[in-house]
Amino acid sequence: MSSEVISREVKRRRTFAIISHPDAGKSTMTEALALHARMISEAGAVHGKGGRRSTVSDWMEMEKARGISVSSTALQFSYSSPDTDTDVPNVINLVDTPGHSDFSEDTYRVLTAVDAAVMLIDAAKGLEPQTLKLFQVCRHRGIPVITVINKWDRPGRTPLELIDEISERIGLIPTPLYVPVGIAGDYRGLLDRRTGDYIHFERTAGGAKIAPEEFLTADQAAEREGDVWSAACEESELLAELGQDHDQEMFLAGQTSPMIFTSAMLNFGVRQLLDALVEFAPPPRGRESIDGVERSVTDPFSAVVFKVQAGMDSSHRDRLAYMRIVSGEFERGMVVTHAQTGKPFATKYAQAVFGRDRSTVDTAFPGDVVGLVNAMALAPGDTLYIDPKVQYPPIPSFAPEHFSTLRVTTADKYKQFRKAVDQMDAEGVVQVLRNDVRGDASPVLAAVGPMQFEVVTARMKAEFNVDTIIEPLGYSLARRTDEQSAPELNRQRGVEVFTRSDGAILALFSDKWRLQYIEKEHSDLLLEPLVAAA
Ligand code: GDP
């Protein structure tokens, strides 16, 4: 495959994730995007009428029962902006982030696979906790963010209140590309700040279809909308005076964020979001290997596994690894090398995965996400490549906040239990901590979100036929320490020291007051926050 072909494919690709708090409208927006890309002909089919959710791959019973998604999938669609005259459509990859507040490290890992993020905010609620957490990960990783204020068809805050909240609380300067015409709850259309024109949206029955757009000049808009139009013009001028206009360099540097007002439910502003992604979000780029060598997108094939998912099919052991392609062209059937083991990996069963419908992929390019079936040896952060060899840095692990012991209750299953624990540790489902006092029979599991524990017990049963019980431990935070400090820490009340499977020595604390007290009384002890290593 010539590098020109790869360059061309890379240039038209955009890979992003939506970061949001539950209920902000991520599923509805995903569906609206699919509608605009003409992947589906009517909204409501994927999302389900009764608020039932099936957009994402609900792979475990537990997940179905709660109606939330534990795992992540990727959705690919092609999109041609009506504004461009080229007949080569863009290829958009939307990588799903689990949206429940009870989330896990998977949510974070997904963000290592994207080049941009859409921060979706409920117009009435503003910034919410999970959005903030995910935004911090984006900032940390240097992922540029497009801000979407959703549910503009319902009463909410004013644009300026929302802009102020975002710039004051997270130091990200919103640069609205459009100003909504009509207050929240009376969404009529958008003032295009670059052309000064008016885009008026028309409602469709139940918001099932793409909302027809009518383009009016400023004069026509003033005549049609009167005061509402003047208010939008004033806001736009005020923003220009404040210097809040889009600047591509500042956007890519994570300082500013193009802002769009939408109603995912009515399909208002959704095309504008897609156009912004195409126009501003960066195309896939190469990556630096652990040796500091840059692999460019046109170099031979390489990819990073960012998510491993098991138990999708209870009839047989099925393990699906999602990889994001970094360089080269991927062809199904290709035999690639697994950098961590040096072993070959056959990609006969590569799949593009969306919800329950798996379709085979034959070729894929940088930025694309491909699911590999039966990927028993692959773990998040692993590299796959075609010669020359490359290995990318591991995915950073995040500071756990939940700690539990895991015990086997089936007496003769201890061997399987150990094997299962090791496996889930290797896959990165949870972090596994041990110390001499507790021994191996009841390791301590550490997680970012408590749902990770339920995944462990459910998989123990389904895949290894081992019954286990999870018992929460009274610790709520961890610090990295060393062998010198360990004995003194172990003597303290409300503290226990463990070794993690990667060799790190961690001290767990009952609460932050305990930690603060010990830090004050024993300033000689090493107590480092566990921050992401990236
Ligand atoms: P998620 O949890 O972020 O995936 O949120 P959903 O897409 O499931 O949406 C949560 C609720 O908000 C649902 O009842 C949606 O119908 C509703 N919703 C989503 N987008 C909009 C919108 O633009 N306007 C209005 N009025 N409701 C919306």
Question: pLDDT per residue over 134-186, tens digit each?
Answer: 898 899 889 999 999 999 999 999 999 999 999 999 999 999 999 999 999 99
Q: Per the structure block, which two tokens stand in for 228?
A: 């509402």
Residues 222 and 88 in one domain: yes
Q: Residue 413 gets which letter from DSSP?
A: G
**pLDDT tens per residue, range 76-88:** 888 987 766 667 8
Which atom of ligand 1 lies nearest, measured to the CA of 150?
Answer: 23
Q: Check whether 126 is labelled as a binding-site residue.
A: no
Which atom of ligand 1 lies nearest, measured to the CA of 28?
Answer: 7
Residue 73 Cα to ligand 1 middle (Å):
20
Q: Which of 251, 280, 309 is the last residue of a domain?
A: 280
Residues 87 and 190 in one domain: yes
Residues 320 and 208 in one domain: no
Residue 52 lies in a domain: no
Which atom of ligand 1 lies nearest, measured to the CA of 154?
Answer: 26
Residues 155 and 97 in one domain: yes
Q: Give the residue whose CA is nearest to atom 11 of ligand 1.
A: 23
Ranking 79-93, 271-285, 322-336 by mean pLDDT, the lowest is 79-93
Arithmetic mean of pLDDT, 110-130: 95
Arithmetic mean of pLDDT, 500-527: 93
Q: Check whether 98 is labelled as a binding-site residue.
A: yes
Residues 270 and 323 in one domain: no
Provide the pLDDT confidence category of residue 71 given band limits of 50, 70 and 90.
Answer: very low
Q: What is the percent of the chain where pLDDT is above 90?
A: 59
Residue 239 Cα to ligand 1 middle (Å):
28
Spell out where 136-290 has E strands.
Answer: 145-150, 173-176, 178-181, 189-192, 198-201, 213-216, 256-261, 287-288
Q: Give the residue whose CA is nearest to atom 25 of ligand 1.
A: 151
Ranking 248-252, 361-365, 467-471 by mean pLDDT, the lowest is 361-365
Q: How far is CA 8 from the centre of its chain?
A: 26
Q: Which of 235, 251, 280 is the last residue of a domain?
A: 280
Q: How many independent structural domains does the chain possess? A: 3
Q: Check whether 97 is labelled as a binding-site residue.
A: yes
Residue 382 Cα to ligand 1 middle (Å):
35
**pLDDT tens per residue, range 175-213:** 999 999 999 999 999 999 999 999 999 988 878 888 899
> What pLDDT score was predicted for residue 529?
86
Residue 120 Cα to ligand 1 middle (Å):
11
Residues 434 and 340 in one domain: no
Residues 39 and 146 in one domain: yes
Which atom of ligand 1 lies nearest, measured to the CA of 120?
Answer: 3
User: CATH no. for residue 239?
Assistant: 3.40.50.300
Residue partners of 528: CB distance under 8 A and separation at least 6: 479, 480, 481
49 or 237: which leads in pLDDT: 237
Residue 489 Cα to ligand 1 middle (Å):
48
Residue 436 lies in a domain: yes
Q: Which residue has the tokens 């009870």?
A: 102
Angle subtended by helix axes 270-280 and 26-36, to nearest 10: 80
Ranking 234-238, 286-290, 311-315 by mean pLDDT, the lowest is 311-315
Q: At 130, phi and psi to the nearest 5? A: -70, -35
- With a cut of 80, say whether residue 304 has pLDDT above it: yes
121 or 84: which leads in pLDDT: 121
Residue 333 lies in a domain: yes
User: CATH no. for residue 414?
Assistant: 3.30.70.3280
Q: Per the structure block, which two tokens stand in for 102?
A: 């009870």
Q: Check whether 298 is labelled as a binding-site residue.
A: no
- In whole numbers, what is the pLDDT of the chain averaged over residues? 86
> What pLDDT score was predicted for residue 65?
42
Residue 57 lies in a domain: no
User: CATH no. for residue 302?
Assistant: 2.40.30.10
Residue partners of 379: CB distance under 8 A and separation at least 6: 305, 308, 340, 426, 427, 428
Residues 370 and 341 in one domain: yes
Chain length of the chain:
534
Task: Specify the long-range contacts of residues 206-212, CB closer than 8 Å, at least 24 apart.
Answer: 206/44, 207/43, 207/263, 207/265, 207/266, 207/267, 208/42, 208/43, 208/44, 209/35, 209/42, 209/43, 209/267, 210/35, 210/36, 210/267, 210/270, 210/271, 211/266, 211/267, 211/268
Residue 164 Cα to ligand 1 middle (Å):
24
Tell me whether strands 402-408 and 363-364 are parallel, antiparallel or unpaired: unpaired
Residues 273 and 306 in one domain: no
Residue partners of 2: CB distance under 8 A and separation at least 6: none
Q: Which of 260, 280, 300 is the last residue of a domain?
A: 280
Residues 419 and 328 in one domain: no
Residue 68 lies in a domain: no
> What pLDDT score was predicted for residue 34?
82
> What pLDDT score was predicted for residue 102?
53
> What pLDDT score was predicted for residue 90?
93
Residues 184 and 39 in one domain: yes
Residue 174 lies in a domain: yes
- With a cut of 80, say whether residue 311 has pLDDT above it: no
Q: Which residues line ligand 1 (CB under 6 A)?
A: 20, 22-28, 51, 99, 150-151, 153-154, 263-265
Query: Which residue segment(s) compose the domain that 437 sits in?
Result: 402-529
Residue 534 lies in a domain: no
Residue 196 lies in a domain: yes
> What pLDDT score was predicted for residue 501?
86
Asked whether the beta carbons of 98 and 82 are under 8 A apart, the reply is no
- With a cut of 90, say whether residue 109 has pLDDT above it: no
Q: Check whether 142 is labelled as a binding-site residue.
A: no
Residues 352 and 303 in one domain: yes
Nearest by Cα to 354 from 106, 112, 95: 95
Interface ipTM: 0.99
- With a cut of 80, say whether residue 124 has pLDDT above it: yes
